[in-house]
Structure formats: structure tokens, C-alpha cells
Amino acid sequence: MTNNRFDYSPMQGKNVLITGGLGFIGSNIAQRCVELGANVTILDACIEPYGWNFANISEVEQSVEFIKGDVRDRSLLKELIANKDVVFHMAAQVGREISIESPELDVEVNCTGTINVLEACRRNANGVKVVFAGSRGQIGEPITLPVDESHPQNPTDVYGINKMAAEQYLFLYNKIYDFPVVSLRLNNVYGPRCQMHAGFYGILNWFMANAMTGKPITVYGEGSQTRDYVYITDVVDAFLRTALSENANGQIYFVGSGVETVFLDMVKEIVRAVGKGEIKHVPFPKLRDKIDIKRFVVSYQKINADVGWEPQYDLRTGIDETVRFYSERLGDYLAKREVE
Ligand SMILES: NC(=O)c1ccc[n+]([C@@H]2O[C@H](COP(=O)([O-])OP(=O)(O)OC[C@H]3O[C@@H](n4cnc5c(N)ncnc54)[C@H](O)[C@@H]3O)[C@@H](O)[C@H]2O)c1
């Protein structure tokens, strides 16, 4: 770990809205914003099979305002955004296969939901800043590695297409209406507060739960594909730095570890950290085979240059921290574990 200093104190007293704030990334942002003295409102529709979990905010529930509501509800958003300084827009349909099976749902939540956030911002015209969770899924199979912000976008699923469109709406509104926006294109995020009830996303945490509960870890094919795994604390740090930095306004950043990790090596790290786990290789399901990406790793040079961000956790340290968290809190996360 290196010590890259940043002054987070301006977060104190800020009025913050986190859409999807009961989920994995949103709840970790909420936790940190409360620690920094921000006034946090969480909007979450509590939709299955996504990562919402009241256990995610158990430490801060007395300090946050929770609104059960949907980003598809434009009038609710207008009301909620009225007095906000920052919106962390995390709410999303997050399943790649779901996006192909239910493209209309993905359009409604990921595209129209984002337009609703932007419409509420421009109608309130109070200079609120929107920090958006984009995705590596916007890129598809890379042409060159490491992927940076100039890499063309060629998504292999409906989710990636709608994240790409949502990001473009973000910058269109920025250009026309002048309120500040930032898009963070996230890689494979893992760590505490990720759901463990479904394996269709957040695969690292899902495998960890399987290892901890004595269920096989099912790896498609040889597990030779590569990914860029980034630890949640680092991701939260990227959201806060870009929210607080004026020179991040109007910018797109990749947020990743910069380390290309073979999928099977990630699995072996989990087995090491948990101390047990049976790895089982099975053929790729047909749809997954068609949309799977073979290699992925990003450069974080741009976000490093602009806001001084760099990852503080390597994969081994991050996995050890994650195992430590779930060793104490597994029950909170297995409760919803019937969906696959
Ligand atoms: N976790 C990752 O590896 C990763 C990678 C790339 C991008 N992202 C993006 O980061 C964001 C957060 O993802 P996450 O991993 O925390 O997922 P998550 O499922 O844990 O959180 C998403 C939250 O959004 C809520 N939600 C879903 N639809 C909603 C709606 N219509 N209205 C209001 N709330 C709704 C869900 O209930 C859930 O609590 C998403 O936008 C996702 O696309 C995540």
C-alpha cells in the first residue's frame, strides 16, 4: 500500500443522494460519506435479484435517510435532487444475461433511469454534480491492452450498450445544461457488502461464499480468461476524489487495479484465503460463451494524473480483507441465497 494523500474534508456537510445506495458499491459510498460528515440520502427500489441489503447500512442506518423508490419515477427524483450537492448514481440493472433476456427492463432502468436523474438535475438547476457508475462492459473485447479512455466502445451485451448510452446522455446534459458530471468506468469490483445470493455478477464474492459454505466453485472452461479486479475501498476512494475535484468535471475515467489476473488464479486466491474450496470445471453455458470477454485490464493513468488516485489494495490483501468481513457477517449475506 502507498499513502496517496487527499483532502476529503470538503465532504463534510454536503447533501448527497446515492441511488442504489443499499447495494454493494452505493452502501460502501454511504458509509464513507457518513464518516466524513455528509448528509446522506439513499434511494433504492429493493428489486430482486440485485444486491440491496439492509445489513449493508447497519452501521450507519441512524445517520442516513432511506427512501424506498425507483429511478424510473421521475417526479420522485425531482423532489429528492432539489437540495443535493452530489448524486452518486449507482442504481442499475446489473445482470449481463438479464439484459439480453429482458432488454426493455435494461433500457428502462439503465437508460431512462439515468435520463430521469439528469432531467431532475437540470430542472432543479442548482449545480448538483452527478457521478455515474459506468462499466468495463462498454468496451467489449479489447483491441489493445491495457484499455484506456480512448479505446473504442463495442459492447457484447445490452447492459454494455445501455451503460454506454447512459454515459453519453450524461455528457450531453453536461454540455447543454452546464452541471458537472463524471463517469467512472468500473472493472470487476469485489469486497465487503457485495451480495452473495447470486452468481450472475460479483462472481468473486459468490465463489467466496461457496468456498465458505462447502459448495463447489464452478469455473466455466479452463478459467484462462483475464480480468482486472479492484477492491471496493479503492473504488469508493475514486468516487469521492472525483466528486470533490473540479478538474474531474466532464471527465471519463477507468477505475481498475491495472493488473491483469487470470480468472483461475483469482479462484485459487479465494481457496487459499478461505482455507478450503473445491474447484469444478464445467463447459461454458451457450449464452455466456457468446458474450464472454477473453482478456481485460485497464490503465488508471488518467485518474491518477487528475486526482492522484491509485489502488491501495492488491488482490491478495483485498481477498484477505473480504474473507475477514464475511467470516463475521456471512449470515447477513446468505439469507437471500436462493436465487442463482
Ligand atoms: N460491482 C461491479 O463489479 C461493477 C462493475 C461495473 C459497474 N458497476 C456499476 O456500479 C453500480 C452499482 O453496482 P453494484 O455492484 O453495487 O450492484 P448492486 O446490485 O449491489 O447495487 C445496485 C442497487 O441498485 C438498486 N436498484 C436496481 N434497480 C433500481 C431502480 N430501478 N431504482 C432504484 N434502485 C434500483 C438495487 O436494489 C441495488 O441495491 C451499478 O450501476 C453497476 O452497473 C458495478
Task: State how many domains the chain has.
Answer: 1
**Which run of H or of E encompasses 75?**
helix 74-81
- 318, part of any domain: no
pLDDT per position as a tens digit, 238-272:
999 999 999 999 999 999 999 999 999 999 999 99
Length of the chain as a residue count:
340
Alpha carbon distance 237, 220 (integer Å): 32
pTM to 2 decimal places: 0.97
- How is residue 90 written as a grid cell? 449507482
Nearest alpha carbon, ligand 1 atom 26: 91
Average pLDDT, the chain: 95
Nearest to 126 by CA among 83, 161, 97: 83
242 neighbors 303 (Cβ within 8 angstroms) = yes
Which domain CATH number covers 25? 3.40.50.720
Q: Find cell 442463482 and name the residue.
A: 340
Q: Atom 25 (ligand 1): residue with closest C-alpha?
A: 20
Asked if residue 22 has its Cβ within 6 Å of ligand 1, the reply is: yes
Q: How far is the CA of 16 from the centre of ligand 1 (A)?
A: 17
| Residue with CA closest to ligand 1 atom 19 | 51
Is 284 a member of any domain?
no
Residue 228 CB–ligand 1 contact under 6 Å? no
Number of the ligand 1 atom closest to the C-alpha atom of 194? 20
Average pLDDT of the residues in 278-300 = 93
Domain range for residue 244?
A: 11-195+231-256+298-313
Whether omega for the bond prior to residue 142 falls within 30 degrees of 0, making it cis, is: no
> At a CB cut-off of 8 Å and minimum separation 6, what does 40 contact?
16, 18, 21, 30, 33, 34, 60, 63, 64, 65
User: Quick check: is 54 in a domain?
Assistant: yes
Q: What is the mean pLDDT of residues 180-198?
A: 96
- Rounded CA separation 300/255 (Å): 6
User: With 50 as the cut, is the pLDDT of residue 340 above it?
Assistant: no
- Grid cell at residue 232: 471496493
Chain centroid offset of residue 285 CA: 25
User: In the structure grid, which three cell numbers stand for residue 105, read together?
Assistant: 427492463
Sign of the Cα pseudo-torsion (147, 87, 167, 291, in order) = positive
Mean pLDDT of 232-243: 98
Share of the chain above pLDDT 70, in %: 98
Q: What is the mean pLDDT of residues 30-43?
A: 98
Which residues have C-beta within 8 Å of that of residue 203, sequence separation ≥ 6? 188
Whether 165 is covered by a domain: the verdict is yes
Q: Is 52 in the pocket of ligand 1 (CB under 6 A)?
A: yes
Does residue 333 have an active-site annotation?
A: no
CA of 95 to the centre of ligand 1 (A): 9
Amino acid at 9: S
Whether 4 contacts 308, CB under 8 Å = yes
Domain annotation covers residue 203: no
The verdict on residue 17 lying in a domain is yes
Decide if 82 is inside a domain: yes
pLDDT at 288: 86
**Whether residue 50 has its Cβ less than 6 Å from ligand 1:** yes
Q: Cα of 196 to ligand 1 centre, how many Å? A: 14
> What is the rounded average pLDDT of the residues 71-95?
96
The string of pLDDT tens digits covering residues 148-187 is 999 999 999 999 999 999 999 999 999 999 999 999 999 9
Does 265 fall in a domain? no
> Which residue among 50, 159, 173, 229 is the active-site one?
159
